[in-house]
Amino acid sequence: MKKKLLLSSLLLICAVGCQSDEDKTEAHEEQPEGQSYTVTDDRGEDITFEKIPETIVSLAPSNTEILFELGVGEKVVGVTEFDFYPEEANEIEKVSDSQTIDAERIIELNPDVVIGYTIGAPDTLDPLEDAGIPVFVIHSAANFEDVYSDIEQIAEVMGVTERGEEIITNIQAQMEEVATKVAEAEEKDVYFEISPSPDIYTTGANTFQQEIIKAAGLNNVFADEEGWLKIDEEQVIDRNPDLIATTVTYTEDPVGEIKGRAGWGGIAAVENEEIYLLEADIMDRPGPRIGEAVEHLAQIAYPEKFE
C-alpha cells in the first residue's frame, strides 16, 4: 500500500545553494500595506488579496519548498505528509496526503490562502472555496519554465517578487555553470527508474525529470516516448543504458535489486556498476532545488568534469 501511495503521489506531483542562510530566511514585503492586489493562478482564476497573507496552507511539497526559499516559511501552518524539506516543514501540521485533504481541519485553521494543486478529484478543493478561503492553484510543472512561473506566481501572492526573481536568476546561473562543464563530455545514455519491479515506471519526454536529465548533459533512453511510462524489463535491456539512476527509496536495497534482475547483467550500466540511488526529494520535486538536481546528476555521470 505504501508503495502504491508513494508512486501515485509522484505521478500526481512530479510536489540553490548560492544564498546565505540569512538570505533564505528574510523576505521583504513589497506590496504596499492596505492596498489590495490580484494574482492569476494556473486555472486562469483571478485571486484578490486585501493584504499579504499571514497564514498559508501548502498542498504540495514543491510549493512548500518555494515558500521557504522565498523567506515566508514561518507563515505556513499546514502541509502534506510528504513535506520533508526544509527540516522545519517536518514540524508543521499535516493536512493532506497529496491526494486527499483534510478539508475540515484546513477550514478550522482558516488560512489567508491555500496554495493548492491539481490533486485528487476535480472538486477536492471546493469545500475550501465554499468556506470563503482563497485557493491559489498551481498546476504540475512539466519543465523548468513551469517551475520559474510557479516561483514568480507564489512570490507575487506573498508580496516578495524581487526575491522570486533572485531565486530564478540563481537557479539559471547554476544550470549554466553545469552546461559549461559538460559541454564537451561524450554524452551518456541513462535509464531513470521511479518505480521498481514488478511494476516498473520510468520517465519520458515532456516530464520534469526529462528536463533534469537533458540539462545534466545526458540522453534519456526513453525520451522517444511521452510522460511517465510503465515498461517491462526487456525494454531496458534492449536500450542498454550506460547509466541507471533510481529514486526508489521504499525498498530495502534498490540498487542491489536492479543488479539482480534476470538478464540485466549484460546492460552496460550493470556491467560497469554505474547504478545510482538519487535523493527523490531533490530529483522529483519541481521546486527551487532544480539547479541542485541538475548538478548532482551531472556530477555522477561526468565526475571528471567537476574535479
Q: What is the pLDDT of residues 196-239, one digit of tens each?
A: 999 999 999 999 899 999 999 999 999 999 999 999 999 999 99
State how far the alpha carbon of 186 is from the alpha carbons of 179, 182, 278, 305, in Å.
13, 8, 22, 11
21: confidence class by pLDDT, cuts 50, 70, 90: very low
Q: Which amino acid is at 149?
A: S
How much is the mean pLDDT over the chain? Answer: 89
CA 238 to chain centre: 30
Helical residues (DSSP H) of 117-206, grouped into ranges = 126-130, 144-157, 161-182
Query: Angle of helix 208-215 relative to helix 290-301, nearest 10 degrees?
Result: 50
98: confidence class by pLDDT, cuts 50, 70, 90: confident
State how far the alpha carbon of 274 is from the alpha carbons of 188, 213, 298, in Å.
11, 16, 13
16: confidence class by pLDDT, cuts 50, 70, 90: very low
Least confident range of 23-27, 109-113, 216-220: 23-27
Does residue 19 carry a pLDDT above 80?
no
d(CA 38, CA 42): 13
Cβ(291)–Cβ(174) under 8 Å? yes
Eight-state DSSP code of residue 187: P
Question: What integer pLDDT is reported at residue 15 of this predicted model?
Answer: 37
Domains, in order of start, for the chain: 21-173 (3.40.50.1980), 184-306 (3.40.50.1980)
Does residue 60 carry a pLDDT above 60?
yes
β-pairing, 218-220 vs 200-203, is unpaired
Burial profile 204-228: b = 16 or more Cβ within 10 angstroms, e = fewer: bbebbbbbbbbbbbbebbbbebeeb
Question: What integer pLDDT is reported at residue 33 of this predicted model?
Answer: 62
